[in-house]
Structure 1
Amino acid sequence: MRFGKIDYLNLAPFDVFIKSYPTTSSFKKFLQSHKSYPARLNKDFLFKRIDAGFISSIAGYQSSLKNKVTTSGIIAKGSVWSVIVMPTSQSEDYQSATSNALCKVLDLKGEVLIGDRALLYRYNGGEHIDMGERWYQKKHLPFVFGRFCYNTHGDFYKNLSKHFNQKKTKIPYYILNEYSQKTSIPKKYILEYLKHIYYKIGPKERLGLKRFYRELLFKKIKKPSRF
């Protein structure tokens, strides 16, 4: 089984969870060697180089139609801190198709920045618009930035998702320290950031996804595809 993972702080609780979850050594070895940014994982998933992963919502559209999705995602209800638009010349972030599309849906102008780079920019006091906050102001719904989708081994991944959603994961100090050294973001700030992220998809989150997909249709924004 081949699982690809977004290599950002927003999945730190999943990192800790999966270390203790009963999987094969080959599964965990593959996961550690296939960590990247969302747009890269979108391609790997669409071309079936990986079986499953937290895939950008825009690239998980076909999976949702085929019901090859779990009830886990990367979600914010309001400000998210790590998906922002900076007041500079118009520019997309090559790392995230969903965030680039969301910027267009929200009619924002500027440079899109996501992930740990965006979080560090915010920590350093950089001027920005938080897209999670702006979406909630307009739609009064959570925004699902990524969704745990699969191509194969559905029963295994749905069970993994179920256990992840149920478990309250505390990040050990030594791992938090590693994250801080890697990103140059203080440990306390990382913990504050993670309070803005949650992972269980319910009715409101599914409605938020439907509204996002409808906006993509209205604005004729193309979704990633193999062709």
Structure 2
Amino acid sequence: MMRLAGRTAIVMGVESPAGTAIARALAKAGATLHLVSADRPRVEALAAGLDASLLATDDEGPAAPDLVVDASALPAMPDRMTSEEDWEETFIRANRPVARLAARADRMPDKGAILLVTAVPAAVETGGWLMPMLAWREAAVAALARETAARGLRVNGLAPVMDAGGGLPGFLQPAAARPRAGTAAPVEVAEAALWLLGAGMATGLTLALDGGRRLQA
């Protein structure tokens, strides 16, 4: 296991429940934190409490962090997607974090670690748009891990189902009577994230914390 104490870490999307929990866990493990949030006022107190710097963008801060986590919430989707252009734009927006991480990987030192967190709202069905989106992200994680493996830079994914995974509009909302599945608590997400960041032999893996939802899709 790679020791996290003394490592420099950037956490993006820290305003999300997963991002907040991971930032707290990294701070407890002794990492030096730099936080990126689209909602700066909301996380100023968190940054101060963790003795972390708060960045406007992930391009700021340390040039070569040891650890990079993107826990940004999935973006809002349109109510309907009726054309090829609609689908292309939706996938571009939803998968922009992968491009950010790929750009950051070029500037990271060898033996570092990257983690992409895709927190799925518990109320959303596993069918429809969700399974292809998760599969695309898993493939992107594996591809980036393959590109960086020779340097010893590890890339993994984490896909928890959470009560507060995100509030998505339109066709992503469930019927009112649809039963809810079990969810991962933020502390469980943070524990899994720290394991993936520290496990020296784990790369190209996307770990699902979904209570078997995918097995029932």
TM range (shorter): 0.3 to 0.5
- After TM superposition, the score normalised by the length of structure 1 is 0.32
Q: Which has the higher relative contact order, 1 or 2, with Cα contacts under 8 A spaced 6 or more apart?
A: 1
- Higher helix fraction (1 or 2): 1
